[in-house]
Amino acid sequence: MPAAPLRALRRVELYGYPITVEGAYTPRQWTLLAGNREPRGGAPALLHAILENPPHAPLPKPLPGRLIVGDEFTLDCTDRVLRCRLPASGSSERRRLNDARESLCRHALFALGLLAERLGPRAVSTPGMGRRVLLNLHASSVLGRGGALVFCGRSGFGKTTLATQLLSGAPQIEYDLTQILLDPSGREPPRVIRIAPYLKRSFAGTARDMPRAASRNRVRASAQELAHSAAPPLAGLFWLQQAPSCALEPLPAADAAAYLLPPLHFASELRAVGRRLSLLRALLKQSACRRFRFPKSKAKVERFLKDAGYL
Amino acid sequence: MPVFKRSDKVVWDELAGEAVLVQPDRAATFVLNPSGAFVWKRCDGRTPVERIVADLSAGGAEAARVEAETAAFCAALQAKGLLEEAPAAPARTAPPARFAAPYVAPRVNLEELADKPNQRPGKRDIGGSRP
């Protein structure tokens, strides 16, 4: 069956870049494209494309997945290579471009996570991802001794404070939305997607270097880097609660699943809710969630997590 | 005694013996303790409550107490729209099931109501400038 023609779904603007979001969907491959076939552009509203223009019903078999975000930017999960090219003429402000790129990555991964929930894990699996799927969690994360420490909680529970201030000594992975690469069968340990290292490595040059960097901006990470840096294993999963002193307590798996369930992006779709619940069950089977009581004291929190072997 | 069935509008799963129930239209999530999960799973529209009570009290719990607590539990779930009374008497009943854990009154351990049932992340949630 031929691919349905890409059609413009939405025009948006991010960081001053005009964006056209397009989508195509065939029985053999899905493609989402947010970017610029037009002269200039740069970034994303994949999220809107998915939320407001629902794809077809769940598919019967796995599809080879490839997410293309504009012809300027590709996130290819097949070989875990991140390719990005942005127009040098867009801006000379490196920070602004970095923000836009990072945001694109997040949109792309976030979109994959949403697709996994909506269409089912196998619908968005790729050869490179194997059996693994993405699970979006409303959580911050830092790199600890044995891997990624993921801190979950509602808005205002202290996720961002913990990742950006109280644990500023540990490399930060995400401050609000953490993506878990999860094997629902449990054969491979869950890992946390880390975007920033690629981007920092790609665009470490000055603004003057941008055109050159943009022309050869291809990042390949070694297997070891992927294992230990790009997607560190999940070393700790915590549900936050502010308290006068630090403490770790077991949290029943069912309670943890109920806590981690929101935000329900497809709350009205029973099948999508069921999928998220089953992914959470798989996650919690492999990695128990613990309640982490903590005070707003950098010294106390760091010392406690070091003593517990997490940092 | 009545026969209950689980509402079609509820998504549920079992984790470590407990049951997580999600009611998307109310944006509510419930966690049932192991006895509650056992009752929930047996509310299949063909097993009468007497049968469930018999299974629950097979381990030695006092039948009258189990019956009262189970009836109250089912009524509570029905009030929340999680259970529905099956319309007609079942043609056949499910085979007996064994409740292995020590009996504790079935109850809802946790009830979570999402602040924003259909929350969509803002720009900050999926990108944007770091704080």
**Cross-chain residue pair A51–B120, CB shorter than 8 Å:** yes
Q: What was the pLDDT predicted at A80?
A: 32
* Chain A residues whose beta carbon lies within 8 Å of the beta carbon of residue B126: 47, 103, 106-107, 110, 177
**Cross-chain residue pair B114–A258, CB shorter than 8 Å:** no
* Chain A residues whose beta carbon lies within 8 Å of the beta carbon of residue B32: 254
- What are the extents of the domains in chain B? 3-109
Q: Regarding predicted confidence, which is higher, A41 or A164? A: A164
A189 φ, ψ (degrees, to nearest 5): -70, 150
B109 token code pair: 């351990």
- Strand A234-242 and strand B11-15: the pairing is unpaired
**Cross-chain residue pair B124–A176, CB shorter than 8 Å:** yes
**Cross-chain residue pair A254–B110, CB shorter than 8 Å:** yes
Average pLDDT of the residues in A99-114: 58
The neighbouring-strand residues paired with A150 are A141, A237
Query: For A127-169, how does the pLDDT look when each residue is reduced to its tens digit (9 = 90+)?
Result: 445 567 778 888 999 888 888 999 999 888 899 899 888 998 8
Predicted confidence (pLDDT) at residue A303 exceeds the cutoff of 90: yes
Q: How confident is the model at residue B128 (pLDDT cuts 50, 70, 90)?
A: very low
Lowest mean pLDDT, pick from A102-106, A135-139, B109-113: A102-106
Q: What was the pLDDT predicted at B30?
A: 95
> What's the gap in Å between the CA of A62 and the closest CA on chain B?
24
Q: Does A145 touch chain B (CB under 8 A)?
A: no
B70 φ, ψ (degrees, to nearest 5): -70, -40
Q: Does A258 touch chain B (CB under 8 A)?
A: yes
A211 φ, ψ (degrees, to nearest 5): -60, -45
- Strand A289-294 and strand B11-15: the pairing is unpaired
| Burial of residue B97 (number of CB atoms within 10 Å: 0-12, 13-18, 19+) | middle
Q: What was the pLDDT predicted at A131?
A: 65
Residue type, A55: P
Distance set, CA A50 to CA A18, A82, A162, A240, A248 (Å): 19, 22, 31, 30, 38
A137 token code pair: 């969690």
Average pLDDT of the residues in B17-35: 92
CA proximity to B49, closest of B14, B18, B99, B5: B5
Q: What was the pLDDT predicted at B81?
A: 93
Are A111 and B127 spatial neighbours (Cβ–Cβ below 8 Å)?
Answer: no
Give the three-state DSSP class for A211: helix
Average pLDDT, chain A: 64
Q: Regarding predicted confidence, which is higher, B88 or A192? A: A192
* DSSP element (H, E) containing A173: strand A172-174
Residue type, B80: K
Q: Report how far residue A255's alpha carbon sits from residue A129's, in angstroms, rounded to the nearest whole number.
A: 29
B76 token code pair: 């509570």
Best of B9, B29, B35, B115 to disrupt the A interface (most A CBs within 10 Å) is B29
Query: For B66-84, how does the pLDDT look when each residue is reduced to its tens digit (9 = 90+)?
Result: 999 999 999 999 999 999 9
Q: What is the pTM of this model?
A: 0.72
Q: How confident is the model at residue B5 (pLDDT cuts 50, 70, 90)?
A: very high
Q: Report how far residue A85's alpha carbon sits from residue A71's, in angstroms, rounded to the nearest whole number.
A: 8
* Chain A residues whose beta carbon lies within 8 Å of the beta carbon of residue B12: 277
Predicted confidence (pLDDT) at residue B35 exceeds the cutoff of 70: yes
Q: Regarding predicted confidence, which is higher, B1 or A240? A: A240
Q: How confident is the model at residue A87 (pLDDT cuts 50, 70, 90)?
A: very low
Query: For A9-32, how does the pLDDT look when each residue is reduced to its tens digit (9 = 90+)?
Result: 444 443 344 444 444 444 444 444
Query: For A253-300, how does the pLDDT look when each residue is reduced to its tens digit (9 = 90+)?
Result: 999 999 998 876 666 778 888 888 988 999 999 999 999 999 999 999
Q: ipTM above 0.85?
A: no
Are A48 and A42 spatial neighbours (Cβ–Cβ below 8 Å)?
Answer: no
Best of A165, A179, A268, A277 to disrupt the B interface (most B CBs within 10 Å) is A277
* Chain B residues whose beta carbon lies within 8 Å of the beta carbon of residue A160: 131
Q: Cβ of B45: how many Cβ atoms within 10 Å?
A: 15
Average pLDDT of the residues in B98-118: 77
> What's the gap in Å between the CA of B9 and the closest CA on chain A?
7
**Cross-chain residue pair A264–B25, CB shorter than 8 Å:** no
Q: Regarding predicted confidence, which is higher, A83 or A277? A: A277
In the stretch 13-72 of chain B, residues with CB closer than 8 A to chain A read 13, 15-16, 18-20, 22, 24-25, 27, 29-32
Average pLDDT of the residues in A221-232: 44
Q: How confident is the model at residue A38 (pLDDT cuts 50, 70, 90)?
A: very low
B72 φ, ψ (degrees, to nearest 5): -65, -40
Percent of chain A with pLDDT over 90: 23
**Cross-chain residue pair B127–A102, CB shorter than 8 Å:** yes
Query: How many Cβ pairs closer than 8 A exist between chain A and B?
Result: 110
The partner residue sitting opposite A103, judged by closest CB among B31, B32, B128, is: B128
* DSSP element (H, E) containing A13: strand A7-14
Helices of type H across chain A: 46-52, 94-119, 159-161, 196-202, 210-215, 223-225, 253-260, 270-286, 298-307
Average pLDDT, chain B: 82
Q: Does A273 touch chain B (CB under 8 A)?
A: yes
